[in-house]
Amino acid sequence: MDTVITMAQLGLAAAAVAAFVRAARGPTLADRIVALDLILLLLAGAVAAHGARAGTELFVPALIVVALVAFAGTIVVARFIEWRDGR
């Protein structure tokens, strides 16, 4: 099980690197926020995987907070794009 979780976390880290490249490259703000949203979801996945290895249930609140921040942040930036380009 530990091997599986280590592999999963390595995979998630690699995915985060790919998303980070998209966030840095853009070209639009929407691309960047979608990539950053994805990085947060990948982080939540890594937290859950860590929780499975550590045998603790304490990771769940952290998971919910990360997912909520990802959602709220994306919505706010989408609103901002519409406001900025709609003036």
Partner 1 sequence: MTPLELVGALFIIAGTLLSVLAAWGVLDFPSALARMHAATKSASLGLSLIVFGAAIDEGSWGLLGMAALVATFLFLTAPISGHMVGRATYLAGRVDNLVHDDLAGAPHTPLAVGNGVRSGFSAARLISVTVIWMLLWREVSPGTLLGGAAAAAVIEGIRKAPVGQDSIRLRGLLVFAARYIQMVFVSNARVAWEVITPSNEQIREAIVAVPLASSTPAVGLLVANAISFTPGSLTIEMTGDPLVLYVHVLHFESVEQVERDVRKLEAYAGEVFQRADTVGSP
Residues binding partner 1 (CB under 8 A): 1, 4-5, 7-8, 11-12, 14-16, 18-19, 21-22, 28-31, 33-35, 37-38, 41-42, 44-45, 48-49, 51-52, 55, 57, 59-60, 63-64, 67, 71, 74-75, 77-79, 81-82, 85-86
Cβ partners under 8 Å of residue 32, min gap 6:
22, 23, 26
Q: What's the min distance (Å) between Cβ of 24 and partner 1?
A: 11
Task: Residue 49: count other Cβ atoms within 10 Å of its Cβ.
Answer: 19
What gap in Å lies between CA 60 and CA 69, rounded to an integer?
Answer: 14
Instruction: At 28, list the tokens.
Output: 């639009």
- ∠ CA 36-56-54, nearest 5°, is 80
